[in-house]
Amino acid sequence: MRGQDRNLARLGDATAMSSRHGLSIRAADSGDVDGLAELLKTAGLTIVRDKLASRLGAMQDQPGVLLIADEWGPPSGVIALHWHSVLTADLKVGWISALLVDPDRRRNGVARLLIKAASQAARSAGCGELVLRAPIEPGDLRTFCLATGFAESGEVFTRALRKRS
């Protein structure tokens, strides 16, 4: 069983969510390559289909999840989350290496649902916090992080997944 498949089997329905508007959050699979390529283009990232498919396969063999926001058509958003142990924390840390929402779907709760699903997956994997790197200068991502429970620490935002004692 591949890494992501093992992670999802262990997590059960932690990554399967839906909203009242037909939006669902689910694990990305090989059938999502074309839609992900289109979504990445909206951020100015053009990646050849074969290379993207290879990267998706490699990510599925690592501890973590790649979740997409799925509506009526290509993905509306994506979040890549990887977890591992670090020297500075008792519990594993979930690192968000990508968070992207189609510009036409922003400010509709898509990113919040992606963060919620990623938080559930990380919590189930034994993580104590999420980390997201964002630019220091003011902007939409920084504002979003602060509004969704992340605490600022330089260029890194962290979000506790468990109550702090």
The domain spans of the chain are 3-160
pLDDT computed for residue 148 by the predictor: 81
Spatial CB neighbours of 68, under 8 Å, sequence gap ≥ 6: 25, 26, 27, 28, 32, 35, 36, 75, 76, 77, 78
CA distance linking residue 17 with residue 79, whole number of Å: 14
CA distance linking residue 100 with residue 126, whole number of Å: 25
Per-residue pLDDT of the chain (165 residues; tens, 9 = 90+): 344 444 443 343 444 555 546 788 999 888 889 989 988 888 888 889 899 999 888 888 889 999 999 877 778 899 999 999 999 889 999 999 888 888 888 888 888 899 999 999 999 999 999 988 766 665 677 778 778 888 777 667 778 887 765
State pTM to two decimals: 0.77
pLDDT computed for residue 14 by the predictor: 42
3-160 CATH choice from 3.40.640.10, 2.102.10.10, 3.40.50.300, 3.40.630.30: 3.40.630.30
CA distance linking residue 146 with residue 117, whole number of Å: 18
